[in-house]
Every structure is written in C-alpha cells, then in structure tokens.
Homo-oligomer: A and B are copies of this chain.
Amino acid sequence: MIRVGIAGYGNIGRGVEVNIRENPDMELVAIFTRRDPETVKTKGLCPVLPIAEAENWKDKIDILFVAGGSATDLPEQTPKFAKLFNVIDTFDTHANIPEHFANVDKAAKEGGHIAIISCGWDPGMFSLARLYANAILPHGEDYTFWGKGVSQGHSDAIRRVEGVADAKQYTIPVDDAIRRVRAGEAPELSTREKHTRECFVVLKEGADPKQVEHDIVTMPNYFADYDTTVHFISQEELDRDHSGIPHGGFVFRTGSTGADQENKHVIEYSLKLDSNPEFTTSVLMAFARAAVRMHEAGEVGCKTVFDIAPKYLLPMDEDYMRAHLL
C-alpha cells in the first residue's frame, strides 16, 4: 500500500479524499494543516494534524501532496517537505519553474527523495501532449485553447472590482479558431481570436452596472485584450447555476511531412472536465504512484512529467500493460 499524506486541506485535499477509493493500492494516512486541526472538517479518513508534526511522520508516509498556492506557499513548502518525504506539487507559475525546480532538486537530493513539481493537466498532461507532438512533428505549429471553464484568477479579479458582491468567469475557446486549427490551416491567431470571456456578476446594492461592466471589460491583462460579456444575476442564480468548477481545453500540433511538405498532419489532445480540482487530483494520484515507484527503483531528485516513464503510473505489472494497453 502507498501511504499518502496531504499538506494543506483545500481543493486538492478534498480531491484526494474522493479519489482514493478508485486507487486500491493507496491509503490516506494524514492531513497536515496550518489551521487549528479542530476547525478542519474532513471526511474523517485519517487524522488531521498541525503542520509542525509532519516531520514525525517521516517514515509513515510514502508520498506527500503539497497542496498550497504557487505564489508563496509552494516555493517554500515543496523544498522543505522534499527533505522529509517524496512529494508532489502543482506549481504553475511558468516563469519561475526553473528556479523552483533547482530549489526542489537540491532539497530532494539532500533528503534522498523524489519530488514531482508542476503536475496536473496544465502544466502536466497538456505539457506532455506538447512534448510528444513536438518530438513527432518538428515542422509545425502549436496551439493551446482553454475552456470552456471557470478561471479562478479571473473570477477573483472581478470580485475585487468596486460594486461587485460575487462573480464567476468562464474562459471560452472560439469555435471558429478551433475549426481552422483542426483543418490544418495553421492560422496566426491573436489573443482576441482564440478565447472569449463570459462573466456572471452579482452587484452590491446600489452599484452602477454600467460602471462595473466598464471596469471589468477594460481591466488590463485580465479582460482588455478579449471580447468580454458581462451578465448581471442574483446571488441565488449564481449559486444555483454556476457553482460547478468545470474546465478543459485543447492542445493541437499541426505540421507536415513529405518532399514538399505536402502531407499535413493534425495531433489533438483535449479534456472536458466537470470538476477541475477532482481531475487535477486524479492526475496527481497517478504521478504520486510513479514517484513512489521511481524512489523504490533508486532514483532521487526533482522530476516533472517529462522525466517519468509512463509505466510507473499504473499499478499493473508491465506484462499486463503490454498485453492489454499496447
């Protein structure tokens, strides 16, 4: 049995709790929290402990899910825990991946552990789709579309607008752009041509809808470069119709081969997810298994999805995989 721990009880922690029974080779043994454990309501599968106690569990956990935010939590926590445990995180601040990798690699090697960073679906499965497709078609173009799905960052940005009580933002890929890419047209697409943004907003009492809409659609970085639609609805409607966290997207590589590049090829990988956090956790659990197996095979250091032979992800033996999946 792979003994799983979680540091930080949020979406990922809850995802592990629901997904663990689909992975009969894994058991959840401890949840660590920075909050008062008494105040953390879990499903009760395992004890909830103060994070300071984690080091006492050094020999009782095979893989720790480090489930914090990329901005400030993971840069500090993942290296710290990599000295004590095999770890996995979802670090997704692209520009800082090289630095995070270096810090985690040093700590994991000191501790003699495997640490997988930047796992999930993007970065993660979408990264793998890009890598495989680039290796196969050196002559070609990459496209990534996200959605239809809820962007937490954009929803948060709307909530910070004066006059907004609550909000949910959907990122939506433009159908016509996807159609052109899929047809092998290799179009050049602006930001505006790739995605639209749809916002469902609950106003505070007395707020001016015209002003709120203007403040949203002109917001730099978040909305100014997109065609953005704002719908004003009640809190009841928001809670009733927009409480899910769906997401997904498409990774394409289109390219050509032949003496005159006359043969076109389209590689497409896509996800359609009812629950972004539960799917992300599902990816993490497969790679958590891989971390433990690579550690058993004598490997140490920081790894990404690029470093992991696919065979490590499944609990079945290699004969089974070759007979049934190849």
Interface residues of A (CB under 8 A from B): 15, 18-19, 22-23, 94, 97-98, 101, 118, 123, 125, 127-132, 134-139, 182, 184, 248, 256-259, 262-275, 278-279, 281-283, 286, 289, 304-311, 313-314, 318-319, 321-323, 325-326
Contacts and interface: CB of A to CB of B under 8 A. Distances in A.
Given A274-B263, A279-B257, A131 B313 contact: yes
Contacts of A269: 129, 268-269
B325 A127 contact: yes
A323 B22 contact: no
The CB with the most chain B CB atoms within 10 A, among A132, A136, A137, A256, is that of A136
Nearest to A267: B271
A275 B258 contact: yes
A307 B326 CA distance: 11
Contact of A326 (B22, B123, B257, B265): B123
B258 A278 contact: yes
A322 B101 contact: yes
29 contacts: A18-B257, A22-B139, A98-B319, A98-B323, A118-B326, A123-B326, A127-B326, A131-B314, A132-B310, A134-B314, A135-B289, A135-B314, A136-B283, A248-B266, A257-B275, A262-B274, A263-B273, A263-B275, A265-B272, A265-B273, A268-B272, A269-B269, A304-B322, A305-B310, A305-B326, A306-B311, A306-B325, A307-B309, A308-B309
Nearest first, the 7 A-B pairs at minimum CB distance are: A135-B313, A263-B274, A135-B286, A263-B275, A257-B278, A266-B272, A22-B138
Contact of A128 (B22, B279, B310, B318): B310
Nearest to A260: B18
Contacts of A19: 257
B323 A131 contact: no
Contacts of A304: 322, 326
Nearest to A251: B269
Contact of A325 (B98, B134, B137, B311): B134
Contact of A97 (B132, B308, B323): B323
B279 A274 contact: no
Contact of A266 (B184, B271, B314): B271
Contacts of A319: 98
